[in-house]
Structure 1
């Protein structure tokens, strides 16, 4: 069984890409999608590591990840980013889980994060909890994703020009709807480094709240009311000065904006 990790980045030259991988402690095979001002690719093979770099003029995080999915050559693909630190042998931890669990199509791994904690026990994921995971936890059995023609929704994610986040949650929801078997593993593979988010401003920001509405509707029309109420109630203190009712109203507005964008 083989493994690759897909890293999304922007405006880096050859040497800067290699320095980024060194800084992130990535020593395994990888696909780097480098959104810049040129279109070409290169392959670097050294010390048992194969690095495939795709330089592209496309923009948007979801487009970057879709390009990685289309070009994946390994059995298992992990989704990465350019501001993380991966623990030693993280690739072996991932492969070991898949080798021991042949039923797994998608596995979400634990991580060290400044902003939240994740479950301490292995388990099969329920649909309603998929909104709580983030992209750098996600790994996929490539054959399961490709045969279902799954891809990231390009209206969502940094650089989309529409909704600034949520692309991974929508993707996981699509995986669930297409009968992928999704599991969570308590083993930590990565640490998110301190720094400014490229999309998060604060909870009490109208754009952020509206985007949550669009995300939840794209995840599930049926569970949309439950998702938005849970979000508004759970985060009611963080959302101030917006009341629960105002937050619900903004998320419904986000849903309407999404419907307008996808309208034929």
Structure 2
């Protein structure tokens, strides 16, 4: 391969809120030497709740904005690693996570982004994944993607052009969909995205989608499908409803209610000007 990457080329980009101590990193990076692990922390906070770092390897930006998409964009703009790993403050990495990622970039022909798996615990994956690598990745895999599964090669991703849509994502107006929108933008601009069916991170917590009500999720989905599939968004809403009913996530008597919520989200998106 033309480029041979090492673990020193990696940087973890962490989005968090209201931290005052680096102690929150300890359960995330069990077994890591934090003095030698490149980490960029975007701490969304208030002026009287600031986070500082005494380590050269750990950089901190205290931001006074809200919204995870804004946090991801700020991290991308300030990243130094040749390969970056998006992460949150409630996950745990394995001792071999970095080696898995480096091997994937070194052993595949020039990917711009590689998506991996996450697990819920030692015996259960976080969700269903493809049972073999995908090159290129499928649209369905992109739609199923979460941020903690995404890695990027920064030299090929211009952060002034490729951004997370700040209307979407946790603590934004539409509380889901920021990751697939970002990845589909890459894909439509001929960036090479692949999926490797290896697990790099553990996330035991409840996701935003599970915390939200059905109506709130479909409000976000109505906007999301309109943004990502502007000519076929109704089809994707109906497909989502079909599979949610089939999997028991919603009841038949919920259909009209969630359809109305999806329509409200679509209308709100149309009335909302893009912020990026």
1:1-264 equivalence runs, <5 A: 1=5, 2-13=9-20, 15=21, 17=22, 19-25=23-29, 27=32, 28-38=37-47, 44-45=54-55, 50-113=57-120, 116-124=127-135, 125-146=137-158, 149-160=161-172, 162-194=173-205, 196-198=206-208, 200-202=210-212, 205-236=214-245, 237-240=248-251, 242-262=253-273
Deviations 1:98-123 (A, max 9, x none): 11123211111011136522222111
Deviations 1:44-86 (A, max 9, x none): 437xxx1111111111111100000000111111110000011
The CA distance in 2 between the partners of 1:248 and 1:179, in whole Å, is: 33
Q: Secondary structure of the equivalent of 2:114?
A: strand
- Gap change, CA 1:86 and 1:64, over 3 Å in 2: same
Task: Tell me whether 177-186 or 109-118 shows the greater mean CA deviation.
Answer: 109-118
Q: What is the deviation of 1:246?
A: 4.4
The CA distance in 2 between the partners of 1:99 and 1:67, in whole Å, is: 27
Task: Tell me whether 123-132 or 57-66 shows the greater mean CA deviation.
Answer: 123-132
Q: Secondary structure of the equivalent of 1:55?
A: strand
Task: Tell me whether 124-133 or 207-216 shows the greater mean CA deviation.
Answer: 124-133
- Gap change, CA 1:123 and 1:79, over 3 Å in 2: same
Q: What is the deviation of 1:199?
A: 5.8
TM-score (norm 1): 0.87
Q: What is the deviation of 1:156?
A: 0.8
Quick check: 1:201–1:208 contact (8 Å CA) kept in 2?
no
Q: RMSD value over aligned CA atoms? A: 2.4
Q: What is the deviation of 1:147?
A: 6.8
The CA distance in 2 between the partners of 1:60 and 1:136, in whole Å, is: 16
Deviations 1:14-53 (A, max 9, x none): x3x2x2211111633111101111398855437xxx1111
The CA distance in 1 between the partners of 2:51 and 2:59, in whole Å, is: 7
TM-score (norm 2): 0.84
Q: State how many pairs are aligned.
A: 255
The CA distance in 2 between the partners of 1:157 and 1:242, in whole Å, is: 28
Task: Tell me whether 241-250 or 92-101 shows the greater mean CA deviation.
Answer: 241-250
Q: Secondary structure of the equivalent of 1:146?
A: coil
The CA distance in 2 between the partners of 1:69 and 1:10, in whole Å, is: 17
Mark the runs of 5 or more structure 2 residues left unpaired by the alignment: none
Mark the runs of 5 or more structure 1 residues left unpaired by the alignment: none
Q: Secondary structure of the equivalent of 2:86?
A: strand
Deviations 1:171-226 (A, max 9, x none): 111111111111111111001023x4456435x52121111111122222134233
